[in-house]
Amino acid sequence: MWNEEFHKTGSMIRFLLKRDRLRLPVWILSLVFLTMITAYSFTDLYSSQGERQALAETMQNPAMTAMVGPGFGLENYTIGAMMAHQMLLFSAILVAIMNILIIVRHTRTDEEEGRIELIRSLPVGRASSLAAAMLVLLAANVLLALITGIGLYSLGTESMDLNGSLLYGAALGSAGLFFSAVTALFAQLSQHSRGTVGYSMAILGFSYILRAIGDVSNETLSWFSPLGWATGTKAFVDNDWWPVVLACAMSIFIAAGALYLNRLRDVGSGFLPSKPGKKHASNGLLSPLGLSLRLQRTSIISWAIGMYLLGVSYGSVLGDLEAFFASSDMMNEMLPAVEGLSLTEQFLTMIMAVISMICTVPALLFMLKVKGEEKQGRTEHLLARSVSRWKLLGSYALPSFFFSFVMVLLAVTGLWSAAYSTMEDPVSFYSLFKGAMVYLPAIWVMIGTAIFLIGFFPALTSLSLFYLAYSFFIVYLGGMMQFPEWLSNLSPFGYVPQIPMEEFDLTAVLLLLLTAVTLSTAGFAGYRNRDSTG
């Protein structure tokens, strides 16, 4: 029976590898390059122990712990300890996203586009397509782990021994395996690719928030998060391998569950069926805008809750952050005093930048939904009626711009509400609101970039997400790695005045708004003139 279930799995693996002959190498090489260039830069920038210990002091506060994970080896902050502390969690999230997107591509997306049904009409086992997808990702994660580990060791840094380097790579690979298994499971539960992506990303977001709360207040909670397992390896410090074993064991268990459920369901079905629709469409569905909002209703609600919880998770540590600054003489010496501002308020500028870029993710996904609908051939049904291309594209652009504001507002509200209950002298809501909303023009530039790509280069729309990843990398590591200013200026977030540390720069804000309008207008013009199939 099992031979029949997995018949021709090897052929399916070769087929998937051929389809991903560019996608997988680009992902793997990009992740390895990011790791290697960061490690090399740390070695060059922080060559003395005194410089590293000064940086370690700035990382020993609850806000940074919530953001990047717990610091191990801070008393002797070597290059290896610095890499594991500041880059392992961030890299694990990127690896998880890679696995989520590729598994969805080869499972639910292939079902929606009819490929799985076509494949099953051939002498291929029922479980072969899912097994092949998971085995391809298994090989990709193992390859990523080995290349990363050997690459770090090859740098010849004293604190990066072979055991720690291989463990660093294994932590990334095991995190990828876990989320590939989770996504494969949700591919059986959900009826649609967007649901599979949504549920999987929700687990990733919940893992991050749970780990952040656990790392700050209760270490036990962190061990319920797969991201907590990655940081719990203590790479280059204690080198604990058992969290990797735990992640692999859980991945096998979840993957087995996904394969079992795959045997029970029919192609196109799911164990979480969609609710039956109403007999008559509501008035809201009688316009392209109403249809767009209905299609993305679940995603909007999920992201809204997630952004509020993200703000709460950061706000909950501000009380401890205030106490940390009060007791740390070194931090008081390192951060110059600014009249009228506490050290906590100064530190909030970085938190605001990170929150604003995370809030950009749902805004871009709402905008890129139009490309997905176009790819599925659904927009043709609308364009065949009295719906103009401008109105169709606008029905996705308008929610994207509007909900970018809503997401930032919810994150700020969560931040303030948690800070209000933990700080003796909480930061005013107006100060937080002003410091966050100044990032809106930069977010709108990102949305404008997506619209421009949809209008002129629809096959390259995913570049807008890579552009956001670049911006996050530059802002996240720019200060520590002392990147040249021109790299920051390539991102719209590099022009945002950091309120309250800096004065409001009307010229910079107007420039960003003008850029957003120009990109959006050009994108609308291009979409009106190009073929509907891209």
pLDDT in tens, 439-473: 999 999 999 999 999 989 888 888 888 888 888 87
Contacts (Cβ under 8 Å, ≥6 apart) of 65:
59, 71, 212, 215, 216, 317
A 10 A CB-CB count for 489 gives 11
At 48 the pLDDT is 77
Position 322 scores a pLDDT of: 60
- 3-class DSSP assignment, residue 303: helix
Nearest residue to 101 via CA among 295, 301, 310, 368: 368
Identify the segments of the chain with pLDDT beneath 70.
1-3, 58, 273-279, 281, 318-346, 422-423, 476-483, 500-501, 532-534
| Peptide bond just before 426 cis, omega within 30 deg | no
The phi-psi region of residue 531 (left if phi > 0; otherwise alpha if psi is between -120 and 50; otherwise beta) is beta
How much is the pLDDT for 360? Answer: 92
Distance separating the N- and C-terminal Cα atoms of the chain: 44
Q: How many CB atoms lie within 10 A of CB 143?
A: 16
The pLDDT of residue 3: 67
**Residues with Cβ within 8 Å of residue 439, at least 6 apart in sequence:** 352, 353, 356, 408, 493, 496
User: What are the residues whose beta carbons fall under 8 Å from the beta carbon of 18, sequence distance 6 or more?
Assistant: none
pLDDT attached to residue 375: 75
For position 147, what pLDDT does the model report? 96
Residue 191: the pLDDT is 82
Tell me what pLDDT residue 179 has: 96
Q: What is the pLDDT of residue 345?
A: 66
- In the chain, what are the domain boundaries? 1-273, 285-534
**Integer angstrom CA distances of residue 147 from 21, 98, 244, 263:** 18, 16, 17, 35
Task: Determine the pLDDT at residue 332.
Answer: 53
Using an 8 Å Cβ cutoff, are 312 and 415 in contact? yes
Tell me how far apart the alpha carbons of residues 120 and 122 are, in angstroms, rounded to a whole number. Answer: 5
Three-state SS at 341: strand
Q: Within a 10 A sphere around the Cβ of 522, how many other Cβ atoms?
A: 15
Report residue 319 CA to chain centroid gap: 27
pTM of the model: 0.80
The SS3 assignment for 338 reads strand
